[in-house]
Structure 1
Amino acid sequence: MPALSRTRTHAPAVGGPDARLPWWALVLPVIAFAALLVLMTASGEAHAAGGEQSVGFLLDRIRSLTG
Protein backbone atom coordinates (compact mmCIF):
# COMPACT_ATOMS: atom_id res chain seq x y z
CA MET A 1 0.00 0.00 0.00
CA PRO A 2 1.65 3.26 -1.06
CA ALA A 3 1.95 6.08 1.46
CA LEU A 4 0.01 9.22 0.75
CA SER A 5 2.00 12.42 0.49
CA ARG A 6 0.42 15.69 1.39
CA THR A 7 0.93 18.73 -0.78
CA ARG A 8 0.72 22.35 0.28
CA THR A 9 -2.50 24.09 -0.48
CA HIS A 10 -1.19 27.63 0.04
CA ALA A 11 1.96 29.48 -0.94
CA PRO A 12 4.52 30.35 1.77
CA ALA A 13 4.59 33.91 3.06
CA VAL A 14 6.79 36.23 1.04
CA GLY A 15 7.63 38.67 3.83
CA GLY A 16 8.81 36.07 6.30
CA PRO A 17 7.81 35.71 9.93
CA ASP A 18 6.93 38.71 12.04
CA ALA A 19 10.11 39.29 14.06
CA ARG A 20 9.03 42.25 16.16
CA LEU A 21 10.06 41.98 19.80
CA PRO A 22 8.46 43.75 22.74
CA TRP A 23 10.53 46.57 24.26
CA TRP A 24 11.31 44.60 27.41
CA ALA A 25 12.86 41.74 25.42
CA LEU A 26 15.70 44.08 24.46
CA VAL A 27 15.90 46.31 27.54
CA LEU A 28 15.96 43.64 30.27
CA PRO A 29 19.10 41.81 29.03
CA VAL A 30 20.89 45.15 28.66
CA ILE A 31 19.96 46.14 32.23
CA ALA A 32 21.03 42.73 33.56
CA PHE A 33 24.37 42.93 31.77
CA ALA A 34 25.00 46.47 33.03
CA ALA A 35 24.11 45.48 36.60
CA LEU A 36 26.47 42.51 36.53
CA LEU A 37 29.22 44.65 35.04
CA VAL A 38 28.81 47.27 37.78
CA LEU A 39 28.80 44.60 40.50
CA MET A 40 31.90 43.03 39.02
CA THR A 41 33.86 46.26 38.81
CA ALA A 42 32.67 47.68 42.14
CA SER A 43 33.60 44.59 44.16
CA GLY A 44 37.34 45.20 43.85
CA GLU A 45 38.07 41.55 43.18
CA ALA A 46 39.04 42.28 39.61
CA HIS A 47 42.20 43.97 40.88
CA ALA A 48 43.03 41.28 43.43
CA ALA A 49 44.23 38.75 40.85
CA GLY A 50 47.87 39.34 40.01
CA GLY A 51 48.04 37.61 36.64
CA GLU A 52 44.84 39.04 35.22
CA GLN A 53 45.72 42.71 35.02
CA SER A 54 44.45 42.97 31.46
CA VAL A 55 40.92 42.04 32.58
CA GLY A 56 41.01 44.70 35.27
CA PHE A 57 42.30 47.25 32.79
CA LEU A 58 39.55 46.35 30.33
CA LEU A 59 36.85 46.69 33.00
CA ASP A 60 38.27 50.04 34.14
CA ARG A 61 38.31 51.25 30.55
CA ILE A 62 34.67 50.22 30.02
CA ARG A 63 33.64 51.88 33.30
CA SER A 64 35.42 55.12 32.36
CA LEU A 65 33.78 55.16 28.93
CA THR A 66 30.27 54.53 30.27
CA GLY A 67 30.29 56.82 33.24
Structure 2
Amino acid sequence: MSAPTHTRPHPATRAGAAGRLPWWALALPVLAFTALLALILNPSDAHAATGEPVITHLFERMHQLIAR
Protein backbone atom coordinates (compact mmCIF):
# COMPACT_ATOMS: atom_id res chain seq x y z
CA MET A 1 0.00 0.00 0.00
CA SER A 2 1.42 3.41 -0.89
CA ALA A 3 1.52 6.38 1.45
CA PRO A 4 -0.38 9.53 0.44
CA THR A 5 1.74 12.44 -0.74
CA HIS A 6 1.25 15.91 0.60
CA THR A 7 1.23 18.84 -1.81
CA ARG A 8 2.35 22.32 -0.93
CA PRO A 9 -0.36 24.96 -0.73
CA HIS A 10 1.87 27.58 -2.43
CA PRO A 11 4.39 27.04 -5.20
CA ALA A 12 8.03 27.25 -4.13
CA THR A 13 9.87 30.44 -5.01
CA ARG A 14 13.07 30.22 -7.00
CA ALA A 15 14.87 32.87 -4.95
CA GLY A 16 14.38 31.15 -1.60
CA ALA A 17 13.12 32.79 1.57
CA ALA A 18 14.48 36.25 0.85
CA GLY A 19 12.73 36.77 -2.47
CA ARG A 20 14.36 39.95 -3.75
CA LEU A 21 17.42 41.81 -2.55
CA PRO A 22 17.04 45.39 -1.33
CA TRP A 23 18.49 48.12 -3.57
CA TRP A 24 21.42 48.81 -1.23
CA ALA A 25 22.58 45.19 -1.30
CA LEU A 26 23.86 45.81 -4.81
CA ALA A 27 24.53 49.56 -4.62
CA LEU A 28 26.96 49.50 -1.67
CA PRO A 29 29.40 46.92 -3.08
CA VAL A 30 29.35 48.70 -6.45
CA LEU A 31 30.07 52.02 -4.75
CA ALA A 32 32.92 50.56 -2.70
CA PHE A 33 34.44 48.86 -5.74
CA THR A 34 34.23 52.09 -7.75
CA ALA A 35 35.89 54.12 -5.00
CA LEU A 36 38.74 51.63 -4.59
CA LEU A 37 39.22 51.41 -8.34
CA ALA A 38 39.40 55.20 -8.56
CA LEU A 39 42.09 55.26 -5.85
CA ILE A 40 44.11 52.62 -7.66
CA LEU A 41 43.89 54.42 -10.98
CA ASN A 42 44.71 57.84 -9.51
CA PRO A 43 46.73 57.42 -6.30
CA SER A 44 47.36 61.16 -6.01
CA ASP A 45 43.80 61.46 -4.65
CA ALA A 46 44.73 59.28 -1.68
CA HIS A 47 45.62 62.14 0.66
CA ALA A 48 46.22 59.90 3.66
CA ALA A 49 49.05 58.12 1.85
CA THR A 50 51.02 61.35 1.34
CA GLY A 51 51.46 62.15 5.05
CA GLU A 52 54.07 60.93 7.48
CA PRO A 53 54.14 57.18 7.99
CA VAL A 54 52.26 57.00 11.27
CA ILE A 55 52.58 53.24 11.59
CA THR A 56 56.39 53.50 11.44
CA HIS A 57 56.41 56.07 14.25
CA LEU A 58 54.08 53.87 16.27
CA PHE A 59 56.37 50.84 15.92
CA GLU A 60 59.43 52.94 16.82
CA ARG A 61 57.67 54.24 19.92
CA MET A 62 56.62 50.72 20.94
CA HIS A 63 60.20 49.52 20.46
CA GLN A 64 61.51 52.35 22.65
CA LEU A 65 59.02 51.56 25.41
CA ILE A 66 59.82 47.84 25.33
CA ALA A 67 63.59 48.43 25.30
CA ARG A 68 63.49 50.39 28.59
The TM-score range, normalised by the shorter chain, is 0.3 to 0.5
Q: Higher RCO, 1 or 2 (CA under 8 Å, sep at least 6)?
A: 1
* Larger Rg belongs to: 2
Q: How high is the TM-score relative to the length of structure 1?
A: 0.41
